[in-house]
Amino acid sequence: MRKDMKQLPVNQFQVKDIFWGNYLELVRASVIPYQWEALNDRIEGAEPSHCIRNFEIAAGRKTGEFSGFVFQDSDLYKWLEAAAYSLMRCPDADLEKKADEAIELIGQAQQPDGYLDTYYIINGLENRFTDLESNHELYCLGHMIEAATAYAQATGKRRFLEISAAFADCAAEHLGKEPGKLPGYPGHEVAEMALVKLYAMTGEKKYLRLASYFIDQRGQQPLFFEQEDREQGRTCYWRDDLGYRYYQAAEPVRGQQEAEGHAVRAVYLYSGMADVARETEDEELFAACKRIWKNIVEKKLYLTGAVGASAHGESFSYNYNLPNDLIYGETCAAVGLVFLAKRMFEMTGDSSYLDVMERALYNGVISGMSLDGKSFFYVNPLEVTPQACHEDHNFAHVKPVRQKWFGCACCPPNLARLLSSVANYAFTTDKDGIYLNLFMGGRVSFETENCRGELEVSTDYPWDGRISVRVVRVEGAPFTMRMRVPGWCRDFAVFRNGGRTEPVRSEGFAALQEMRQGEEAVLELSMPVELIAAHPNVRADMGKAAVMRGPLVYCLEEADNGSGLHRLSLPAGAVFAAEYRDMLGGVTALTCSGLRKTDEGWEEGDLYQVWRSPAEEPVTLTWIPYYAWANRGEGEMSVWIRIKE
Amino acid sequence: MRKDMKQLPVNQFQVKDIFWGNYLELVRASVIPYQWEALNDRIEGAEPSHCIRNFEIAAGRKTGEFSGFVFQDSDLYKWLEAAAYSLMRCPDADLEKKADEAIELIGQAQQPDGYLDTYYIINGLENRFTDLESNHELYCLGHMIEAATAYAQATGKRRFLEISAAFADCAAEHLGKEPGKLPGYPGHEVAEMALVKLYAMTGEKKYLRLASYFIDQRGQQPLFFEQEDREQGRTCYWRDDLGYRYYQAAEPVRGQQEAEGHAVRAVYLYSGMADVARETEDEELFAACKRIWKNIVEKKLYLTGAVGASAHGESFSYNYNLPNDLIYGETCAAVGLVFLAKRMFEMTGDSSYLDVMERALYNGVISGMSLDGKSFFYVNPLEVTPQACHEDHNFAHVKPVRQKWFGCACCPPNLARLLSSVANYAFTTDKDGIYLNLFMGGRVSFETENCRGELEVSTDYPWDGRISVRVVRVEGAPFTMRMRVPGWCRDFAVFRNGGRTEPVRSEGFAALQEMRQGEEAVLELSMPVELIAAHPNVRADMGKAAVMRGPLVYCLEEADNGSGLHRLSLPAGAVFAAEYRDMLGGVTALTCSGLRKTDEGWEEGDLYQVWRSPAEEPVTLTWIPYYAWANRGEGEMSVWIRIKE
């Protein structure tokens, strides 16, 4: 496994991108302020969060009862993390002041021994650490660390880092295999990867040890959660089906073969496993990550990068069970898949991981947020019939329009923190150069062992496949620039200083060596519209095709194509026209000829009739990028369309 | 509306039929004895019923607590009804003794004022009639009357009839719009149609009045169930979606436009409405029946005659929402649809009602029972993937194999009572003749205003379309014989005494007038295999076709066609071979050429790829009648198959 690859610090990328620039600005100018209001219960018509109020009560500033979910604290941490990344990019004294005050509030709620979970502080500390399975204390710890490390990086201030370290110390004091400690681990994972960050920032090995312990204790016999259940006088909530697989805790993680259980927890765990494997150079643990990753991408991944097919337990389902309409596909799970993909890439240099990361990011992640940044999907279906959402209980979890805020508000701030830190994902450096993982316009400063450089990237990606890079500055030795050739791309060309060149190709990158100041490189990715098929084992997509152009999955919406999308079909030889349109914030829309089944030949009132060649009329199908669906009111949507061979 | 049509008494038809003969014999020799054991908790490995035990406790013969569902009493009543019909057909001293003893037990449990529900007798009579919405007292009353009237008809014994009349009197004493009475009605309908039977048998108008009251009070403001909920300090269990529509009680029945809510309750209510409309010559009420019927058959009926698309609330879903895999399609709902269809036919003489009755009876009703009569489906899907039943929570209600008995055992005895009384459905008389509604071999004695006759029917229906009738005897005037020409039949011929004749056609019947002793008539229904399409509004069946031959819907099973049925497709011009085979109790199986998608061209590990014309291999598809599926172990099954145009 590789240990030489590094993510680009957020503040070393100045985004100037027609696609992501808008998202980052939305997060800064709209999502972060809006979510601050939400955390303070000041959004009219939205479910109250109670989050800040809980901290105020725990800190003794107010009296009252704990409200909201048991993991409500984590919403503030996620918000602080998004704010930290935003501050790195765009200093903002007012935002930093709000964040500092929030951190003071958090600090005031902290107990003398470092403990910090408002649910137990308010409801009785005697019960803390008695229900790790369900009560999310360690999940809150994890998100606190994620935020605190980001905030320290953004501002140089250590206060929040110290608060989080003290809580981590408290957890380490109580949990472990040593006599007198509880042999527990998180019910909802995230602390694992967070502790590795805390270790990286503080250099304190104890945090890496705690992360390792959490990972290796998980699923050991006797099962800790089973013991907790017995002590609480209950049986596993998921006893009828998922059992402790819901928590990825039915067996030790090194023996697990498939991605199972609650999808967000799962991908967070696997990310933590990758982190620990890398830091401890544990090839066996890394092999488990690779095995599970393979299971996901080969058998449990939606075309959009969504994961978690089942609403029951918000969980992975069995292999190839990928219903487009019953899907859960939580935004947070796609976010977590991006975390995992990035880690797997950084441990291998293999761009196939980035293909999945890009798939999720451009489709199933950003579909979670409306174009105005003010409403959010928890569930990201690939096929929606609004009447089913309203009237068919099987689809009660699927919302046909995004919601303002959720009582369980994990997804909106999770999106905000990912988008704010997108530079971490777009660029990677190693000892002799830089990797362009994703294509975003802007200015990048980077360092390798032998140089400091600066690039200016210009592109209209994902609408256009041309990526142009100018080496603005190189101090020190020349460097290698590796530009990713996406897995979806079947034809590309590279130009260096105006002339076509044959780059070195390796692990999905086109590498240009010895790059010097003043040089210019252009990657031209051919970006035709492609029809996509799913493996014949996927029942839901049998006889259907989807449409992609570049990294974007497209869909049909009722707004463009009328109702009854199931009546439409796509000829296998369809010719597509792609046109940039001033709609949905500016998108390349696609059109092609299709067919629509009509009612012609149906006797009034017949529900069934003897089959005959069906009446169809020619129609023009209009496709929009999947991420932009449901921004024009409620209507049907479908990614997979019947194909006419 | 017509009032001159009469059902044929069960004991006037001696079945000698290759198809139904087997079912009737199964019910007599196996189902009834088996269910008696089940009611007495003597079936190893099956959930105990507690039913008889509850009566014994209520009667003071034993001590103990009430166990099982609140409507457990009804299982004994349904069994007694099935036994009564069986006794009419085949006297059996031992069975009659068991039934008499059970009736004595029931009588012993009856309270001095006629009240009879073991749940409240055991748990406290002070609470009786306080939860009509949920606690099924009137449902038990209904089934008691259904059984008691059948038993009186079968044996001439009045004891059970008197017990049930006394309970009906008790209900009438407490319920009604008069001051001092509760303005309530049944939470689960069935008493409505039962009371009309009690009225017909006793001539006591008060029972018809009680039925009328139940029907017209339903859904009146203020809503009785809402008041009960308030008094119980609760809100409607279905408040989030179905509301009081679950009980068909959100508005007065005369104003209802669609079939809604719990499907069994619904079709039982509509049957009761039809009965009351007929007895009271209430055209407005009958118009409501016709309107709702139209909604069912045009928008909510499965090809198999199953109704109730939604597992949530075991209910009707919205128009055209007919998922083949998520379906509920309870056996009892198909049974209830047969009840309703019979009533609608008897009020109109229109055989289109019989088409639906036949569709349900030959497919979605008998699919509920295994061929050995020992295991049962509650849910009757049109598409099954066993792995989904086991591992996907959405399909947890769907069982891939029939179960021995259920804690909630409504379906098995309901099937038994319907099958035992199938003669009621097969033949109808009016003042001048007899209707052959369904085609079953055997000997029928009948009466009209002017004659007594006897027919000998010979047929291999549904395997063959030839129905031959010999007039064995006519005393009195000649009669008219109306033979149904099923809606599925596009070509037929009628022969009278060997010569082809053009019968009078009216309302779906071929009528032969002036039939006399010794005459012979033959109806030859052309019975080719037909491909069937569903209306384009049915999303689940889009791009698919089903296969029927005569009244039978066919399906593909894994046992004949291998796994991955979704990979199969059917060419639109498929040529079928029909062959009678000695399997599954003897069936005509169908074969045709089809195609199966293969994995050819798929790179190892790819879940998605650029679409290309898919690799397919030619296969022989083997179809069996739907009712006979799941008699060869667990496997996939599908009725609707992708069609290749």
Give the list of residues 6+ apart from residue B243 with CB closer than 8 angstroms, or none.
B236, B250
- Residue A408's pLDDT band, with cuts at 50, 70 and 90, is low
Please tell me if residue A614 touches chain B, with a CB cutoff of 8 Å: yes
Other Cβ atoms less than 10 A from the Cβ of A126: the count is: 7
Are residues B157 and B147 in contact, defined by beta-carbon separation less than 8 angstroms? no
Check whether A613 has a pLDDT greater than 90. no
Burial track A204-243 (b if 16+ CB lie within 10 A, e otherwise): beebbbbbbbbbbbbbeeebbbbebbeeeeeebebeebbb
Residues B144 and B62 in one domain: yes
Q: What per-residue confidence (pLDDT) applies to A614?
A: 82
Check whether A320 has a pLDDT greater than 70. yes
Mean of pLDDT over chain A: 96
Q: Is residue B1 part of a domain?
A: no
CB pair distance less than 8 Å for A392 and B317: yes
CB pair distance less than 8 Å for B542 and A642: yes
Check whether B405 has a pLDDT greater than 70. no
- Residue B613's pLDDT band, with cuts at 50, 70 and 90, is confident
Q: How many domains does chain A have?
A: 3
DSSP state of B428: E
Residues A238 and A319 in one domain: yes
Q: Is residue A609 part of a domain?
A: yes
Q: Is residue A223 part of a domain?
A: yes
The shortest CB-CB distance from A533 to any of B531, B535, B611 is to B611
pLDDT tens digits along B82-117:
999 999 989 999 999 999 999 999 999 999 999 999
Q: What per-residue confidence (pLDDT) applies to A407?
A: 58
Residues 81-100 of B with CB under 8 A from A: none
Instruction: Give the mean pLDDT of B361-390.
Output: 95
Q: Is residue A1 part of a domain?
A: no
pLDDT tens digits along B514-528:
999 999 999 999 999
Give the list of residues 6+ apart from residue B531 with CB closer than 8 angstroms, or none.
A610, A611, B545, B546, B547, B570, B572, B574, B643
Q: What per-residue confidence (pLDDT) applies to B374?
A: 84
The shortest CB-CB distance from A613 to any of B301, B542, B572 is to B572
- Residue B395's pLDDT band, with cuts at 50, 70 and 90, is very high
Residues 570-609 of A with CB under 8 A from B: 572, 597-599, 602, 605-609
CATH of the domain at B506: 2.60.420
Instruction: Name the residue in chain A with its Cα closest to that of B529.
Output: A610
How far apart (Å, rounded) are the C-alpha atoms in residues B234 and B365?
A: 36
- What are B58's two structure tokens? 């209520």
Instruction: Give the mean pLDDT of B71-87.
Output: 94
Mean of pLDDT over chain B: 96
Are residues A574 and A531 in contact, defined by beta-carbon separation less than 8 angstroms? yes
Residues of A in contact with B594 (CB under 8 A): none
Identity of the amino acid at A138:
L
Express as a percent the part of chain B with pLDDT over 90: 92
CB pair distance less than 8 Å for B610 and A569: no
Helix B205-217 with B263-280: angle, nearest 10 deg: 130
Residues of A in contact with B312 (CB under 8 A): 392-394
CATH of the domain at A67: 1.50.10.10
Q: What per-residue confidence (pLDDT) applies to B550?
A: 98
At which of B503, B525, B547 does a domain end? Answer: B525
Pairing of strands A616-625, A552-557: antiparallel
Residues of A in contact with B388 (CB under 8 A): 321
Instruction: Give the mean pLDDT of B284-291.
Output: 98
Q: Is residue A357 part of a domain?
A: yes
Residues B249 and B139 in one domain: yes
How far apart (Å, rounded) are the C-alpha atoms in residues A203 and A189?
A: 22
Residues A519 and A540 in one domain: no
Instruction: Give the mean pLDDT of A83-108.
Output: 96
Check whether A409 has a pLDDT greater than 80. no
CB pair distance less than 8 Å for B607 and A297: yes
Residues 277-316 of A with CB under 8 A from B: 294, 297-299, 301, 303, 310-313
How far apart (Å, rounded) are the C-alpha atoms in residues B501 and A162?
A: 100
What DSSP line would sit under A28-89, residue for residue?
IIIIHHHHHHHHTT--TTSPP--HHHHHHHHTTSS-----S-TTTHHHHHHHHHHHHHHHHH
- What phi, psi does A637 have (nearest 5°)? -150, 145
- Residue B215's pLDDT band, with cuts at 50, 70 and 90, is very high
Q: Is residue A190 part of a domain?
A: yes
Are residues A446 and A430 in contact, defined by beta-carbon separation less than 8 angstroms? no
Q: What share of chain A is helix, strand, coil (3-state, %, to 5)?
A: 40, 20, 40
Residue to test with chain A: of B539, B604, B639, most A Cβ within 10 A: B539
Active site amino acids of B: 314, 410
pLDDT tens digits along A15-54:
999 999 988 998 999 889 988 999 999 988 878 889 999 9
H/E stretch holding A506: strand A504-506
Other Cβ atoms less than 10 A from the Cβ of B92: the count is: 16
Instruction: Give the mean pLDDT of B391-418.
Output: 84
Residues A346 and A459 in one domain: no
At which of B425, B447, B465 does a domain end? Answer: B425
Residues B351 and B443 in one domain: no
How far apart (Å, rounded) are the C-alpha atoms in residues A34 and A54?
A: 19
- Strand, helix or coil at A375? coil
Check whether A199 has a pLDDT greater than 90. yes
Residues A297 and A398 in one domain: yes
Burial label, A18 (beta-carbon count in 10 A; 0-12, 13-18, 19+):
middle
- Strand, helix or coil at A426? helix
Cα dihedral B555, B561, B563, B569 in deg (nearest 10) = -70
Burial label, A258 (beta-carbon count in 10 A; 0-12, 13-18, 19+):
middle
Check whether A411 has a pLDDT greater than 80. no
Q: What per-residue confidence (pLDDT) applies to A345?
A: 98
Are residues A436 and A481 in contact, defined by beta-carbon separation less than 8 angstroms? yes
Catalytic residue among A133, A192, A260, A314: A314
Residues B629 and B481 in one domain: no
For residue B556, list its beta bridge partners: B623, B638
The shortest CB-CB distance from B610 to any of A531, A597, A612 is to A531
Instruction: Give the mean pLDDT of B368-380.
Output: 92
Are residues A129 and A400 in contact, defined by beta-carbon separation less than 8 angstroms? no
Residues B96 and B113 in one domain: yes
The shortest CB-CB distance from A545 to any of B311, B313, B611 is to B611
Instruction: Name the residue in chain B with its Cα closest to that of A610.
Output: B532
Cα dihedral B194, B196, B199, B204 in deg (nearest 10) = 110
CB pair distance less than 8 Å for A393 and B645: no
At which of A380, A398, A425 does a domain end? Answer: A425
Q: How far is A50 from chain B, CA to nearest CA, in Å?
A: 25
Instruction: Give the mean pLDDT of B588-612.
Output: 95
pLDDT tens digits along A573-600:
999 999 999 999 999 999 999 999 999 9
Q: What per-residue confidence (pLDDT) applies to B407?
A: 58
Lowest mean pLDDT among A1-10, B397-406, B471-480: B397-406
How far apart (Å, rounded) are the C-alpha atoms in residues A160 and A149?
A: 8
Please tell me if residue B569 touches chain A, with a CB cutoff of 8 Å: yes
Residues 391-410 of A with CB under 8 A from B: 391-394, 396
Residues of A in contact with B569 (CB under 8 A): 543
Residues A517 and A554 in one domain: no
Q: What is the span of the domain harbouring residue A361?
A: 6-425
Q: What per-residue confidence (pLDDT) applies to A405?
A: 62
Check whether B330 has a pLDDT greater than 80. yes
How far apart (Å, rounded) are the C-alpha atoms in residues B445 and B88?
A: 14
Residues 315-354 of B with CB under 8 A from A: 317-318, 321, 326
Instruction: Give the mean pLDDT of B424-449.
Output: 96
Q: Is residue B110 part of a domain?
A: yes
Residue to test with chain A: of B312, B394, B489, B491, most A Cβ within 10 A: B394
CB pair distance less than 8 Å for A532 and B392: no
Q: What per-residue confidence (pLDDT) applies to B413?
A: 81
Residues A278 and A348 in one domain: yes
CB pair distance less than 8 Å for A611 and B531: yes
Lowest mean pLDDT among A553-567, B31-45, B144-158: B31-45
CB pair distance less than 8 Å for B310 and A538: no
Q: Is residue B250 part of a domain?
A: yes
Residues B68 and B119 in one domain: yes
